[in-house]
Amino acid sequence: MDVESVRRDFPTVRSNLGIYLDSACQSLRPDSVIRAITDYYENYPACGGRSVHSMATKVSMAMDEARETLAGFFGTDDPDCYIFTKNCTEGLNTAAYGLRLGRGDVVVTTDSEHNSNHVPWLNLQEARGIQRRIVRSGPEGRFDLEAFHRAMDRSVKVVSVQHASNVTGCSVPVKAVTEIAHDYGATVIIDGAQAAPHMPVDLGRIDADIYCMSIHKMLGPSGMGAMYGKREVLEGMRPLALGGGTVGLTTYDTVNLAPIPDRFEAGLHDYAGIIGTKAALDYLKGVGMDEVMRWDRELMRRIVSNLEDVRNLHVVGPEDADSRGSVFSFNIDGLGAHDIAMMLDSMSGVMIRSGMHCAHPFYVSRGIDGSARASTYLYNNFQDIDVFTDTVRKIAETFGE
């Protein structure tokens, strides 16, 4: 991958607007995505799937092309199995509330889940009487496959796990998880928010029943996500919202739901976002997801190597760079995470995330108040990393206790 060529495709990088190390929250966007969005608003800003005039027809065709691109990108053959959502959170909620779970049904998750894959199950526990089993990870946050196997039995109806952690960067062996879960007849939901942007994801091979992702973390427009589901699973689910576009015919007393994917996409869509989604996936395909993963690993190795002897600094998660994906979470003795983030921004223009990263139970269970988190992507280079680590070293040595 020609990193410097990639960097020239991103306006904020070209304009030297700072060093962006917050891609686990939301990525930057290349010119091609911005152009695709602008082209929609300037040349065919109509509704898709409703009107039959030429402008609307162009939007409908663009939506179909975006679904086809999703299917090809993720290794499946049915574009209609991709539902457009606002984000991964909406997809996970659609799955949780749509699977018709009831009292006594068991849902297995892990102790490292994002709130989007934790809070809906808490609510269903209270509202419908489902039961939860939480698979505990090791001290560094690594997934324990044996513990997961012990948690499984025939009462488990759903297994819902992250593909990669937004705190530790650790990946879950989702293919093995899916195989075990299916042996017990369970439906598998995977939160792919942190994995889909950074590694090759072959959903045909993984065999998950539902896989959710945030397109805004993979160079796409803000407020765009997607939920993949096997056709037979989607056809058995209740939609999260109903209204225009989700029905075939209604009377005063009856309603017939539209076929998938329409039944899950109530109201008008973010058409510009859908068109931008295709452009983002096309860009990533052009670079190659193997190359994206390789470069994230090189950047993470640089971070770990540069910071390995810094006093007062503590890593959250594995110290092994190759186990961290694209995420480096850390604390400095005597400083709060928000203090670290503000110092990095004011001293060197380095932008990171700070707090509990919507993974509250992980931190609370370990007695940690939160962490600073730097997250990399394909547009970062070694100079970005060196400025970040030099500044962290200065902060730790000057202000750490």
- List active site positions: 358
Judge whether 363 and 13 are in contact, CB under 8 Å.
Answer: no
DSSP letter at 238?
P
DSSP letter at 374?
E
30: preceding bond cis by omega (within 30 degrees): no
DSSP annotation string for 8-68: TT-HHHHTT--EE-BTTT-----HHHHHHHHHHHHH----SSS--SHHHHHHHHHHHHHHH
Judge whether 302 and 275 are in contact, CB under 8 Å.
Answer: no
**Over 255-276, what HEC string results?**
EEECCCCHHHCCCCCCHHHHHH
Token pair for residue 139?
């001290």
Q: Minimal CA–CA distance to 120: which of 104, 103, 98?
A: 98
**Angle (CA) 12 28 195, round 5°:** 155
Length of the chain in terms of residues written? 401
Sign of CA dihedral 307, 310, 315, 318: positive
Token pair for residue 394?
């200065």
Judge whether 48 and 28 are in contact, CB under 8 Å.
Answer: no
Interatomic CA distance for residues 332 and 391, integer angstroms: 13
Interatomic CA distance for residues 379 and 91, integer angstroms: 27
Q: Identify any residues that bridge with 132 across adjacent strands, giving them in sequence order.
A: 107
Token pair for residue 103?
């009292």
Q: Identify any residues that bridge with 401 across adjacent strands, giving them in sequence order.
A: none
Interatomic CA distance for residues 243 and 220, integer angstroms: 26
